[in-house]
Structure 1
Amino acid sequence: MSRDVSVVIVAYNSAALLPACLAAIPPECPVVVVDNASPDDSALVALAARPGARVIRAERNLGFGPGANAGFAEVVTEFGLLLNADASLEPGAVAGLVAAARRYPGGAMFAPEIIAPDGRMQFGHDLPFRRLRGPVVEPSGDACCWYVGGSAMFLRMSAFRALGGFDPGIFLYFEDDDLCLRMRAAGHALIHVEGARVRHEGGASSAPSETLNWWKAFHQGWSRLHLEAKHHGQAAAWRLALSEAPGLGLKALFRRQDPRREKWSGRAAGMRAWITGRKATEIALGRRRQGPSGT
């Protein structure tokens, strides 16, 4: 069963995490590691930890979704598993996901049970545009779901390719939400699979830094407006931008001692970049201008 699955990992500054991640992947699974121009030794570490892996060394940081697309372009198996570098498969996880895909031929995306370090299940989140709102309820048994997160996303490759993969315009964040929305619009089911378990550290795929955290917040702001415009129209995106960006900028400017200041500053800057028509994939992790809410 595992021979029907290729695992794709997008790495950026992930050298400390890749050995454990790669060691947990069944030996018969083809593995593709996309190194997003990491300043550390991610590519060399991946080759040492998994000598048979296909390691793609990008000349620049492509972003998460475009990096995943580059990895999946190398996949020839029926299924693909997108796996974060800070995630680790438990024994039987891949076989369980393949078995579920065979049981549910109408499913195109499958979510394993994502287990946090404290032992609790990380069951995704609600999608931004779901009409029937309500609490996200942890499933019991296999269950249809609204969202499959990018930390461990099992894909039927024929459906993924038919939709063109991840949105190439999104550098980081909400690329998984966008794919879920497009999969459901195309009539495919998203299914949470009981018993297929993945351990996930969460937020640890790249070595942390203040600058990187700011850029993550920047792309959260930009991608949220991109998603709104794509699925609800430009007017809706402008309404969202005008309702949130000024307040974020003001909080970043005046609450200088608040630990959330960097996040507010980054998100406000990302929203302003979207408003002015700048492309996230061209900005990437570009040089940050000095100031509490600058780009």
Structure 2
Amino acid sequence: MPSTTVVVVTWRGRDHITACLDALAGQRPHRTLVLDNASDDGTADLVAAHPSAPETIRLARNRGYAGALAAVLPEIDTEYMAWLNDDAVPDRGWLATLEDALNATPEAAAATSSLLLADGSTQSVGVTLTADGHGADLVLAGREVFGFCGGAALLRTDVLRANGGVPGGFFCYYEDTDTAWRLRLAGHEVISVGPARVHHRHGASTNPGSRLFHRWNERNRLLMLLRCAPARVALTELVRFAVLTAVLPTRRGPKPANFQVPLRLRVLAEVVLRLPVTLVQRARIGHHATVSRTAVWRDWAGR
């Protein structure tokens, strides 16, 4: 039985998923499971015809990256679960390198890859936590990472399940940093494995910089902080977001997309509507924690 199920989440991935599946066919033996988020562009037929014959689950509606991963987690029966974007093409030996790294590091619950862009530059070797609670990609190898980039990572399945799984309600973005935070609160490590290289066609399925992109990013960062951060930090960032939203109409000149008032009001409304459930989730996360939120924040924020 293979040690890993590689989960490839796709939505309208016809133009790029073949390269991903071709690369997976050359990896150490594993189970490939494609989650099709109700694609309507022929992706399902393309995947079904691929010579590697991957298993496929076709969802009735688009549940986003986070929602698809959360939906499939109960179906994973292997020791490891790999998250892989449909526009990511791993080098030969990628999976073996990640598996060997986790096998050699029992205290680590997740291993993150080196993601390279089309021009050969580095997109991410892991995620750092900024001083105001953003998750930001690290591009310099050799530094310790707070979290993993969800575009290409390997996680221990049982540890992931025991610590709340994947926040499916996020839909897209920050599901990886939120998961890494919960793993650290439970006393686990996250490691960066530089030789595990993946070539990433960044933004093939989403549109970075779009209104939806900023809505999901801003909302999910605040939800992540409310779930995982010290209360002081979470409340400070929520109030700061609200105050800045209130004063933006008085500022002259062009504003970036994430500073548009209607977008920010929608983010605040969504956070407020989700607040009761989020506070229940926060209590549950705290109950399972073995490391305090303050300690994790002190050790990693702004590092």
For normalisation by structure 1, the TM-score amounts to: 0.79
Report the Cα distance in structure 1 between the residues aligned to 2:187 and 2:271, rounded to whole angstroms. 32
- Shift in Å, 1:183: 0.6
2:300 corresponds to:
none
* Residue 228 of structure 1 pairs with residue 230 of structure 2: no
CA gap of 1:92–1:274, structure 2 versus 1, over 3 A, is same
1:199 corresponds to:
199
CA gap of 1:266–1:35, structure 2 versus 1, over 3 A, is farther
**Aligned letter for 1:242?**
A
**Aligned letter for 2:180?**
C
2:84 corresponds to:
83
Contact preservation (8 Å) 1:221, 1:267? no
- Shift in Å, 1:13: 1.7
2:267 corresponds to:
271
2:36 corresponds to:
35
Contact preservation (8 Å) 2:5, 2:30? yes
2:292 corresponds to:
none
Contact preservation (8 Å) 2:126, 2:192? no
* Residue 17 of structure 1 pairs with residue 19 of structure 2: no
Report the Cα distance in structure 2 between the residues aligned to 1:90 and 1:58, rounded to whole angstroms. 29
- Shift in Å, 1:108: 0.6
Q: Deviation per CA, 1:7-61, whole angstroms, max 9, x where unpaired?
A: 1011112121111111100363211111112232222222222552221111122
1:289 corresponds to:
none
Paired residue for 1:127, among 126, 129, 135? 129
Contact preservation (8 Å) 1:82, 1:151? yes
- Shift in Å, 1:205: 2.8
2:213 corresponds to:
216
Report the Cα distance in structure 2 between the residues aligned to 1:20 and 1:199, rounded to whole angstroms. 10
**Aligned letter for 2:140?**
E
Matches within 5 A, 1:253-264: 255=254, 260-261=256-257, 264=260
* Residue 161 of structure 1 pairs with residue 161 of structure 2: yes
Contact preservation (8 Å) 1:101, 1:110? yes
Which stretch has the larger CA shift, 117-126 or 29-38?
117-126
**Aligned letter for 1:19?**
T
Q: Deviation per CA, 1:114-163, whole angstroms, max 9, x where unpaired?
A: 112221222344224689xx9957233xx642120111011111111111
Work out the number of aligned pairs and report it: 267
- Give the superposed CA RMSD: 3.1
CA gap of 1:235–1:75, structure 2 versus 1, over 3 A, is same
Unaligned runs of 5+ in 2: 276-303
SS of the residue aligned with 1:199?
A: strand
Report the Cα distance in structure 2 between the residues aligned to 1:209 and 1:146, rounded to whole angstroms. 23
Give the structure with the higher percent helix: 2
- Shift in Å, 1:87: 0.5
Report the Cα distance in structure 1 between the residues aligned to 2:34 and 2:119, rounded to whole angstroms. 28
Contact preservation (8 Å) 1:113, 1:195? yes
Contact preservation (8 Å) 2:242, 2:268? no
Contact preservation (8 Å) 2:132, 2:237? no
- Shift in Å, 1:250: 7.0
Contact preservation (8 Å) 1:225, 1:240? no
1:286 corresponds to:
none
2:147 corresponds to:
147
Which stretch has the larger CA shift, 230-239 or 156-165?
230-239
Unaligned runs of 5+ in 1: 280-295
**Aligned letter for 2:157?**
M
SS of the residue aligned with 2:172?
A: coil
- Shift in Å, 1:216: 2.1
